[in-house]
Amino acid sequence: MKYYIDFEPIGKRGRLSSEKLILDHARELGVDLVNICGGAGICGQCKVQIISGDASPLTTNEFGVLSPEEIAGGFRLACQALPLSDCLIHVPPESLTSPQRTQVEGDEILTYPVDPLIRFYSLKISSASVEDFRSDTEQLMEALHKQHQIKATSIDIKSLCDLPSLMHDGNRQTMAVVRDNEIISFHKSDARKIGMAVDIGTTKIACYLVDMETGRTLAAKGIMNPQIAYGEDVIARIGRAMEHSEALKLQKLVVDALNQSVKELCDQLNLNVAEIIEAVVVGNTAMHHLFLRLPVKQLAMAPYIPAVNTHLDVKAREIGLHICKGAYVHLLPNIAGFVGADHVSMLLALDAHNKKGVCLAIDIGTNTEICLINNKKTNHKKMTSVSCASGPAFEGGHIKHGMRASNGAIEHVHYEEGRIKYQTIGQMPPVGICGSGILDALAQLYKAGIINNSGRLSDDHPSIRNNDGQLEFVLAGKEETNNHKEITLTQKDIRALQLAKAAIATGITMLLESQGLSDNDIDEVVIAGAFGSYIDVASAVAIGMLPDLPIQRFKQVGNAAGIGAKAALVSQRHRKESQDIADRTEYIELAASTDFMEVFTKATLIGPV
Ligand code: FES
């Protein structure tokens, strides 16, 4: 039986030759699972979760090691379970010997005033008197007004539960945490003032803890979005979430992962999670809606209308986030069904509305969002955005030996004197090729004349062979790889890459055309996002994915969406600006344009357009 096994979020998948345990399948595909007991079924370190597909019955060892909840959730020990059908397997981060590469850093372009919506007021409430029949709340509000000239009008219901003991059992001293006119919490006077900024990407999640008094990032963590096992791109994820129960499951996966990350970050800083008094969350529109448990079905159908475009404030506890009980989550506004709050956050971080000249801001992912900021031919700033369905090829999806960026992934490729040279993540023997390597391979083989501009592989190079009727270029031989299997770039892979790069190039061309501009009018191309940080811009230009401009006009800025979320966390001004950006950015639906197919078809050609 040749079952197809897909290990997520690593993105390694393949049809394997013979009946084997999941652990052996993983090894064969170059997925390194922790196996301290060497597969004896006793250490419990090789835990995986079968999302779909059948496997052999649970063994006695598994009943001994796994909890009833884990068993109910589909968890198995990889060293004990034998696949009995095609399987989609989620590998938790702790079961991997080396972590996935996630990126949280970004260029701090903005200088922002620290002016959070949350304020802290130290209060001393006068002693109780038998003649004072006012409620605890009235006395508290009066103290706040008298001592700080602050008129609070409401108190969070959970915090209200803490008030009587504070007033009657305690020393009537506290630190009131006030947001707008609401008292959201009472803290000890020495409690830290911490905020949390989160960028929920389709593939990765970045989480930051920020000092609300200085705006300084205290700790950050990047994790894979656990929803990946339920669909690699937004459309697949929406398809899965059509059923309400599945949508709730997806929401819980992200929230649980966030709670876990926040707990770990707090432990690092010796903080209590209750000291986190505000959160800002950004994400594409689908991630935003799923996070809020909003329906997403309409996002997958033209005209792709979001349920809400404006910014929102919701209680963190309503979402399931375990931070300060009265805390709010502020969600930045969306622009359209496929241009979400993460795009707004990126534009905020780039200070887009104050940019001079013409700038293209791009965040490359399974869905690529591009904004053209044009201050050249109009006397008021114009921002126009599009969304391009670039698909999972640059994440290693639909590529024969593709994988996401983790140890052993070929991340850079160079062709020199008839030979391929490559660099892997972690300098490990190669196990597959990730997005930046795929982009390089295509550019290098094109520049060497091994691939022509229509994407056809030449058949007279010593590294090219015919495998089952399909041409493929051998990038790494059996003797070099970790699993003793060649890593190749196939003709089919090249076709997938052509479609991905054409989607992005089409977006850029049509944006420029909409403003009567050409490539040469562009003063700056800003590439944001994790994938954009690692790509070789020259390769992206060589294949015609990005405009053919002098290299110094390109700038790679890292996770700008995360930077924007942090700015909105500590600065009321930037929070307002984010809504202004969303209101002023015009959205163009590419597929609705009559010349879309013509531009797209032309853009599938490799080489500068
Ligand atoms: S390797 Fe130890 S339980 Fe599987």
- Mention every residue, 6+ apart, whose C-beta is less than 8 A from residue 391: 233, 366, 397, 398, 496, 499, 500, 503
pLDDT score for 408: 86
Q: Using 50, 70 and 90 to split pLDDT, how confident is the model at 379?
A: low
Closest residue CA from atom 3 of ligand 1: 41
Mean pLDDT score, 591-602: 92
Split at pLDDT 50, 70, 90, the class of 8 is confident
- R_g over Cα of the chain: 26
What was the pLDDT predicted at 407? Answer: 82
| Rounded-to-integer distance, Cα 364 and Cα 34, Å | 32
According to the model, what pLDDT value does residue 109 have?
A: 59
Of 278, 507, 555, 243, which Cα lies nearest the Cα of 386? 507
- Interval between CA 410 and ligand 1 midpoint (Å): 28
Dist. CA 80 → ligand 1 center (Å): 8
DSSP H/E element including 4: strand 4-8
What was the pLDDT predicted at 177?
95
29-71 per-position pLDDT tens digit: 878 888 877 788 988 889 999 999 999 999 999 999 899 999 9
Confidence at residue 510, expressed as pLDDT on a 0 to 100 scale: 96
110 pLDDT tier (thresholds 50, 70, 90) = low
Residues in contact with ligand 1 by the CB-under-6-Å rule are: 35-37, 39-46, 77, 79
24 CA from centroid of ligand 1 (Å): 12
Collect all residues with Cβ–Cβ distance below 8 Å to 539 and sequence separation of at least 6: 439, 440, 442, 443, 444
Q: What is the pLDDT of residue 424?
A: 93
Task: Identify the band that residue 380 occupies on the pLDDT scale cut at 50, 70 and 90.
Answer: low
Mean per-residue pLDDT for 199-219?
93
**pLDDT tens digits, residue range 264-304?**
999 999 999 999 999 999 999 999 999 999 999 999 888 89
Single-letter amino acid code for the residue at 464: I
pLDDT of the residue at 14: 84
Q: What are the tens digits of pLDDT across the range 396-420?
A: 878 888 888 888 899 999 998 888 9
Say whether pLDDT at 376 is over 80.
no
Closest approach atom of ligand 1 to CA 80: 4
From the number of C-beta atoms within 10 Å of its C-beta (0-12, 13-18, 19+), residue 7 rates as: buried
**Does residue 108 carry a pLDDT above 70?**
no
65: tokens are: 């090691």
CA gap 582, 345 in Å, rounded? 10
525 and 547 Cβ atoms separated by less than 8 Å: yes
Quote the ligand 1 centre to 464 CA distance (angstroms). Answer: 40
The rounded percent of the chain whose pLDDT value lies above 70 is 96
Mean pLDDT of 205-215: 94
Q: Which tens digits make up the pLDDT trace of 533-559?
A: 889 999 999 999 999 999 999 999 999
Counting from 1 in the atom list of ligand 1, the atom nearest the Cα of 79 is 4
Give, for ligand 1, the residue of 45, 60, 70 to mutate: max count of ligand atoms closer than 8 Å to Cβ.
45
Place of tokens 């959070």: 116
Which tokens sit at 361? 């801001």
**Nearest atom, ligand 1, residue 38 CA:** 1
pLDDT in tens, 129-170: 778 788 989 999 999 999 999 999 999 999 999 888 888 877
From the CA of 562, how far away is ligand 1's center (Å)?
37
231 CA distance to ligand 1 middle (Å): 28
- Measured CA to CA, the distance from residue 78 to residue 84 in angstroms comes to 13
Q: 21, 65, 79: which to mutate for ligand 1, most atoms within 8 A of CB?
A: 79
43 Cα: distance to centroid of ligand 1 (angstroms): 5
**Could you identify the atom of ligand 1 that is nearest to the CA of residue 42?**
3
pLDDT band at 1 (very low <50, low <70, confident <90, very high): low
pLDDT tens sequence across 444-500: 999 999 999 999 999 888 999 998 889 999 999 989 887 778 999 999 999 999 999
Closest-lying ligand 1 atom to the alpha carbon of residue 77: 4
Task: State which of 36, 60, 91, 97 you would mutate to test the pocket of ligand 1, scoring each by most atoms of that ligand within 8 A of its C-beta.
Answer: 36
Ligand 1 center to 27 CA (angstroms): 14
Catalogue the E-assigned strands of 276-381: 276-283, 312-315, 328-331, 358-363, 368-374
Q: Candidates 25, 27, 32, 37: which one to mutate for ligand 1, based on the most atoms within 8 Å of Cβ?
A: 37
From ligand 1's centre to the CA of 44, what distance in Å? Answer: 5
Ordered by where they begin, the domains of the chain are 4-95 (3.10.20.30), 118-187 (3.10.20.880), 197-331 (3.30.420.480), 343-391+500-603 (3.30.420.40), 393-497 (no CATH)
The string over 424-448, giving b where at least 16 C-beta atoms fall within 10 Å of a residue's C-beta and e elsewhere, is bbeeebbbbbbbbbbbbbbbbbbbe
Please tell me the distance between residue 13's alpha carbon and the centre of ligand 1 in angstroms. Answer: 21
Mean pLDDT of the residues in the chain: 91
Ligand 1 centroid from CA 252, angstroms? 28
Nearest ligand 1 atom to the CA of 61 is 3
pLDDT digits (tens, 9 = 90+) for 309-355: 999 999 999 999 999 999 999 999 999 999 999 999 999 999 998 88
More confident call, 498 vs 394: 498
CA distance 562 to 341: 11
Whether 340 contacts 285, CB under 8 Å: yes
Give pLDDT, residue 103: 66
Q: pLDDT digits over 219-277, tens only?
A: 999 998 988 888 878 888 898 898 888 899 999 999 999 999 999 999 999 999 999 99
pLDDT of 113 > 60? The answer is: yes
| Lookup: tokens for 578 | 């984010």
3-class secondary-structure state, position 209: strand
Which ligand 1 atom is nearest residue 33's CA? 1
